[in-house]
Structure 1
């Protein structure tokens, strides 16, 4: 019977120590790795369960604490107004260069990890969807799965609220998967259309899914959770990763 191993590693960046939580199948041969970027609340219970579920499909899943230079190691922000306010504050305080450096540190660490085949994908939800997409510019990332990524259409990630993620999309070499909720107020219809149009004009090959769901519909806490769609999305994700990382 397969079991999972859960651990963490503290990796050094120029802006301090970044804690990375890992979930992996026990006793398996080398497996592909997935950097899983969380919501603004960091590594919450729902994020841990999503990471464990993906690891059970045969992946080494690494979940970084994205606000490591601002909060003590192990900090989890609550799903309440105070947690939301702090998470959103830090989203626009952290510099783009810091987000990008974190990707490089993670890719280098996973590439040398004894349990990793060397194939690495990025995956994320909400803020993490944007970070997963941005990670796709790193040469070490083979596939990107971005679930309802925020701030892409508005180009407002990071300090100064001015990012170049979408502007550079034609540079992307990774396989791309996007999943959206049509009832998501954070990424309205015109925002989704802008992203889709930019992708089409770039000539990139990408996969695109929209569901009648709210923001954060994968999170298994709170009123927006849609368990039926969460199962569908897990199937979409694992099929996409299998095609991208195991071919």
Structure 2
């Protein structure tokens, strides 16, 4: 499929949020995936991930996850300064802001002729957590979380009872959880805790652990593992084609 890309600036309760829309050419309606970036926002690797998914017959929307804290169009570099700024933004944003961002996107998608109303979510690193957060919205039917950070901890600021793992009863769709066993940000004990809580909540989820480091799906840098990335994308495509078809 040939992909078209356009930009939309959405109003949210916390300010204007730029979204990048990647979708097949033409006016046909497609299932739509909310795709959440790493702390660096829509870098080259994130854009390529979005276009890869769009090329399989999906409209893909990539929001700027820290729009309240940066000028519109900000992309952080994959270096120490970029990491420091992204982690500072992660610590500064209220967790409720992610929910209102999701609600704004879902409401807007309801008016788009190219969205058929079948919604999924996916993301990487903090974006994996934000995809999980999107699954709290009842309209999201399938979610793929790639090495989601901070699910096992309280690192994302929140009010009591507002951490994502405290709200599992709000998740009605299917989850795909994909982890690297050599990921220092999500140790084995943390993964085990997430698995335990998802199981106790009797959620519909699949669980995959591979021999990969953090960010092994990012196609830049020394940690990229093309074979594992391909496996992850295929699992996500299988999930979305089955649930959102």
In which range does the TM-score fall when normalised by the shorter chain?
A: over 0.9
Aligned residues of 1:9 and 1:20 also touching (Cα < 8 A)? yes
In terms of mean alpha carbon deviation, does 80-89 or 105-114 score higher?
105-114
Aligned residues of 1:11 and 1:20 also touching (Cα < 8 A)? yes
In terms of mean alpha carbon deviation, does 157-166 or 57-66 score higher?
157-166
Distance 1:14 1:93, change over 3 A: same
SS in 2 for 1:117: strand
The aligned residue for residue 151 of structure 1 is 150
How many residue pairs get aligned? The number is 245
Aligned residues of 2:18 and 2:63 also touching (Cα < 8 A)? yes
The aligned residue for residue 91 of structure 1 is 90
The aligned residue for residue 60 of structure 1 is 59
Aligned residues of 1:183 and 1:213 also touching (Cα < 8 A)? yes
Deviation at 1:164, TM superposition (A): 1.6
Deviation at 1:161, TM superposition (A): 10
Q: How many angstroms apart in 2 are the aligned matches of 1:37 and 1:233?
A: 15
In terms of mean alpha carbon deviation, does 235-244 or 152-161 score higher?
152-161
Q: How many angstroms apart in 1 are the aligned matches of 2:97 and 2:167?
A: 18
User: Runs of 4 or more off by more than 2 Å in structure 1?
Assistant: 158-163
Deviation at 1:124, TM superposition (A): 0.6
Aligned residues of 1:155 and 1:162 also touching (Cα < 8 A)? no
Matched, 1:225 2:224: yes
Q: Gaps spanning 5+ residues in structure 2: where?
A: none
The aligned residue for residue 245 of structure 1 is 244
Aligned residues of 1:155 and 1:166 also touching (Cα < 8 A)? no
Q: Gaps spanning 5+ residues in structure 1: where?
A: none
The aligned residue for residue 41 of structure 1 is 40
Q: How many angstroms apart in 2 are the aligned matches of 1:78 and 1:155?
A: 26
Distance 1:242 1:28, change over 3 A: farther
Q: How many angstroms apart in 2 are the aligned matches of 1:138 and 1:160?
A: 18
TM-score (norm 2): 0.97
In terms of mean alpha carbon deviation, does 82-91 or 132-141 score higher?
132-141
Q: How many angstroms apart in 2 are the aligned matches of 1:98 and 1:175?
A: 23
Q: How many angstroms apart in 1 are the aligned matches of 2:15 and 2:58?
A: 27
Q: How many angstroms apart in 2 are the aligned matches of 1:234 and 1:129?
A: 13
Aligned residues of 2:137 and 2:170 also touching (Cα < 8 A)? no
In terms of mean alpha carbon deviation, does 77-86 or 152-161 score higher?
152-161
Q: How many angstroms apart in 2 are the aligned matches of 1:7 and 1:177?
A: 28
Deviation at 1:158, TM superposition (A): 3.1
Aligned residues of 2:138 and 2:170 also touching (Cα < 8 A)? no
Cα-Cα RMSD: 1.4
The aligned residue for residue 183 of structure 1 is 182
1:189-228 to 2 correspondence within 5 Å? 189-228=188-227
1:109-188 to 2 correspondence within 5 Å? 109-158=108-157, 163-188=162-187
Q: How many angstroms apart in 1 are the aligned matches of 2:161 and 2:66?
A: 18
SS in 2 for 1:36: strand
Aligned residues of 2:138 and 2:171 also touching (Cα < 8 A)? no
